[in-house]
Amino acid sequence: MPAQAAERGEGADSTDASEPVGLGTSPTRADALAKAMGTFPYAADLWAEGLLWGAVARSPYAHARILSIDYAAALAIPGVHAVVTAADLRLGPSGVPDGAPSGPIVQDRPVFAADVVRHFGEPVAAVAADHPDTARLAAAAITVAYEPLEPLTDPEAAFTAPPIHPDGNLFRHQPVRFGDPEAVGDVVVEGLYKVGRQDPAPIGAEAGLAVPRPDGGVELHVASTDPHGDRDRAAHCLGLEPDRVRLVVSGVPGATADREDVGFQVALGLLAIRTGHPVKMALTREESFLTHPHRHPALLRYRHHADAEGRLLKVEAQLLLDGGAYAEVSSEALAAAAAMAAGPYVVPHVFVDAWAVRTNNPPAGRMRGEGSLQTCFAYESQLDRLAAALDLDRLEIRRRNAMSTGDLLPTGQAVTCPAPVSELLDALAAEPLPPLPVDLPDDEWLLPGGPGGAGDPAAVRRGIGYAVGMVHILGAEGTDEVSTASVRVSGSQASVMCTAVDTGTGFSTLARQIVQDVLGITDVYIAPVDTDQPPAGPSARGRQTWVSGGAVERAALMVRHQLLQPLAMQFGMSPELLTISDGKITSYDGVLGMPVLQALEGKDLWATAQCRPHPTEPLDAETGQGDAFVGLAFCAMRAVVDVDVELGTVRVVELAVAQDVGRALNPEQIEARIEAGATQGLGLALMEDLVSEGGRISNASFTRYRLPTSLDAPTIRVVALLEERDVVAPFGAKAVGAAPAAVAPAAVAAAVRAATGRQVNRLPIPAEDVAG
């Protein structure tokens, strides 16, 4: 067994005989012991003989023209082996260096800036040396002559400002036109909402190891979440054929956007090829903040129309996403924001204009609930405004407008999956509230401000808020979502080969459960991931449970048929009349009863299968109509907060969550994913804000970028996991991590609004919006 797989808990001896097996159970995660003991191998732990260290020189400007780069002083430092710039990458279409731009959708982000830097911290060169300190010293010794340019940092100004990129300042404009533009409600409420810049804040900064190959190619050992996509983009930037670049996935220390910058991998590979040595690079925490994408900041203007009974008639919205310097996935995030701008509600008339623009702010990318989170905060705030204007209960106004299966999105797409919005709200309504602080006299330290806080308990107000939202599952707008998996059975052991990267979601554990369920074999080995295997696509948007889980199931079912067919023929019956349960093959009439391991004796069976969901289509560029999404997941949340209205401090007491999961394949894992998503959403609601001042990040460290700690995390109670199976999804299951992250900020904001009586229109919520 490979040492890496053994450390990850992915081996033949990794399933304890006393552990529950199969779908619907909650076995210990495959990597739990290694991570708990600190032996799980991350990219920062890698080593190779003759290792050199890499470092990157970065721009101190958000916008500037590069006049010259002088790296003679860096090369003169003892121990420095190489310096590379845009001139060392493949040439652009015009025959001059352009930095080999790449990107997941639009190829506009250079590995190294060639002539213009467009965001603070953008790479301009990289060095390789025999010690990490020497590499950093050499990077600092590179002299770059800049001509500073006025940075474009206001997304509203991007429409009229001079272009800061040859492709212009507009990434995408997506209108949605649904219904009658002349419709007017009895009650109209308006609001302007702002969402800040959230960082994915991975527990481990970017790191990797590149090893040169004899054929002039390179082997990359990195924490990729899309190995084949990253391999192809890296090969393109390096001017190599894809088969000369091999990418091996090392342990991923969390990933909700931060592994999307292929420039890091290209720089690493280029240094290895240039020096002929293995090269390792591990970014500092500040560099990590500067290099990976963040959540899209947003400005959202809404007008809601309703009748006198509180039923929504019309939603008008203008949505502006700040995509930063490069395109990344801004087009994808914008599609989600525009299509879901009215939320999980029935609205007969919807008119939206959504834009994603380029600025000299840090690039924005994929994070849980991209696009959906920003709009959820806005439309749920609008529902609270309507409830107040109509003197309606906040839960009741949501019930009256709740979407259900068969309703239409504003894009004209029918919601064919289960949409139990009313049931989720009912589950929250039935759940008792936590006790008030006066009922817990010994727990004064739980008041806002913590132990010995300066606040007066008499200034504390309790608030209760509700929010419900939805996110799309898998890619959208024609993305070809496909995954391939192989299952092999030899003797008493099964093995799974699938390049679906486990980013912390527990996919390795799920794959094991699927094989156990289908084949009745407890010992299941999950092979390490590299690009020598068929592709499974990126680990994002909860897609691996669907497409890769589906591929594993189909391959396992093919092996099952190979196993049962000879037995069925022997007893003169169809294989469909044989079942596998509790490790035993049984016929419908009880004539056959044989242990699976006995039937497998001497056999070597294998199969490869693909899973590809039904196709989608792009939204129409003029009307926003189209069947753009494979599926939807829904979540409702109740937040209880205590607010010190004098100090402006907020403590979240409890988050109660009701979620639509389709089918609970691993209940404990689902609850853990919900807790993680809700906590990430809470962070954006109250504290997480990556501050860009004139395009320069001013808090790129964990001492200044505030994250929720264990003391900030509230009680998170999963009060309902609604299991109405999605008939088109493998196992009927839905992704679970993104929906609570998208809904939590809106729920917390609603609770603060209820406690203070003030409009809460900004995330994170500043103290001045609370106090007074």
State mean pLDDT over 213-240.
93
At 151, the amino acid letter reads P
Distance from C-alpha of 80 to C-alpha of 50, rounded to nearest angstrom:
14
Helices (H) and strands (E) in the chain, counts: 17, 29
Q: What is the pLDDT of residue 83?
A: 97
- Integer distance in angstroms from the first to the last C-alpha of the chain? 63
State mean pLDDT over 663-678.
92
Residue 576's alpha-carbon distances to 494, 565, 595, in angstroms, are 22, 9, 17
Computed over every residue of the chain, the mean pLDDT equals: 91
Spatial strand order of the sheet with 349-357 comes to 170-178, 349-357, 312-322, 298-306, 187-195, 762-763
The DSSP code sequence of 7-76 is HTT-STT-S-TTS--STT--PPPTTHHHHHHT---BGGG---TT-EEEEEEE-SSSSEEEEEEE-HHHHT
State mean pLDDT over 369-373.
92
Element (H, E) at 175: strand 170-178
Q: What is the pLDDT of residue 491?
A: 82
Instruction: Report yes or no: 721 and 647 within 8 Å, Cβ to Cβ.
Output: no
Q: What is the pLDDT of residue 566?
A: 87
pLDDT tens per residue across span 729-766: 888 899 898 999 999 999 999 999 999 999 999 999 99
Q: What is the pLDDT of residue 13?
A: 36
Instruction: Report yes or no: 140 and 363 within 8 Å, Cβ to Cβ.
Output: no
State mean pLDDT over 677-699.
94
Worst-scoring range by mean pLDDT, 252-261, 352-361, 397-406, 455-464? 252-261
Distance from C-alpha of 542 to C-alpha of 446, rounded to nearest angstrom:
35
At 16, the amino acid letter reads D
pLDDT tens per residue across span 462-497: 999 999 999 999 888 988 889 999 999 988 889 999
Is the predicted pLDDT of residue 16 greater than 70, yes or no? no
Structure tokens at 705: 């970028």
At residue 395, φ and ψ (nearest 5 deg) are -75, -40
Q: What is the pLDDT of residue 236?
A: 93
Antiparallel, parallel or unpaired: β 715-722 and 649-660: parallel
Reported confidence tier of residue 1, pLDDT bands at 50, 70, 90: very low
Q: What is the pLDDT of residue 624?
A: 97
pLDDT tens per residue across span 432-461: 999 886 666 555 556 776 655 566 778 889
Instruction: Report yes or no: 746 and 754 within 8 Å, Cβ to Cβ.
Output: no
Q: What is the pLDDT of residue 8?
A: 39
pLDDT tens per residue across span 105-132: 899 999 999 999 999 999 999 999 999 9
Distance from C-alpha of 503 to C-alpha of 114, rounded to nearest angstrom:
33
Is the predicted pLDDT of residue 69 greater than 50, yes or no? yes
Distance from C-alpha of 487 to C-alpha of 514, rounded to nearest angstrom:
11
> What whole-number percentage of the chain has pLDDT above 70?
95
Structure tokens at 728: 């088109």
Residue 760's alpha-carbon distances to 350, 380, 482, 707, in angstroms, are 24, 11, 42, 20
Determine whether 526 is exposed, middle or buried from the number of CB atoms within 10 Å of its CB (0-12, 13-18, 19+).
buried
Is the predicted pLDDT of residue 665 greater than 80, yes or no? yes
Residue 258, C-beta contacts closer than 8 angstroms, at least 6 positions apart: 200, 202, 206, 288, 292, 293
Is the predicted pLDDT of residue 256 greater than 90, yes or no? no
> When comparing pLDDT for 306 and 23, which is higher?
306
Structure tokens at 465: 């808020």
State mean pLDDT over 35-60.
92
Angle between helices 372-390 and 394-401 (to 10 degrees): 110
What angle (nearest 5°) sits at the alpha carbon of residue 616, between those of residues 612 and 619? 155
Residue 102's alpha-carbon distances to 61, 167, 231, in angstroms, are 21, 14, 12
Instruction: Report yes or no: 764 and 295 within 8 Å, Cβ to Cβ.
Output: no
Is the predicted pLDDT of residue 4 greater than 50, yes or no? no
Query: What's the pTM value of the predicted model, to 2 decimals?
Result: 0.93
Instruction: Report yes or no: 692 and 153 within 8 Å, Cβ to Cβ.
Output: yes
Q: What is the pLDDT of residue 36?
A: 86
Structure tokens at 385: 């405004």
Determine whether 2 is exposed, middle or buried from the number of CB atoms within 10 Å of its CB (0-12, 13-18, 19+).
exposed
Is the predicted pLDDT of residue 38 greater than 70, yes or no? yes
Element (H, E) at 398: helix 394-401
Q: What is the pLDDT of residue 453?
A: 59
Is the predicted pLDDT of residue 183 greater than 90, yes or no? yes
What angle (nearest 5°) sits at the alpha carbon of residue 289, between those of residues 283 and 290? 85
pLDDT tens per residue across span 556-589: 999 999 988 888 888 888 888 888 888 888 888 7
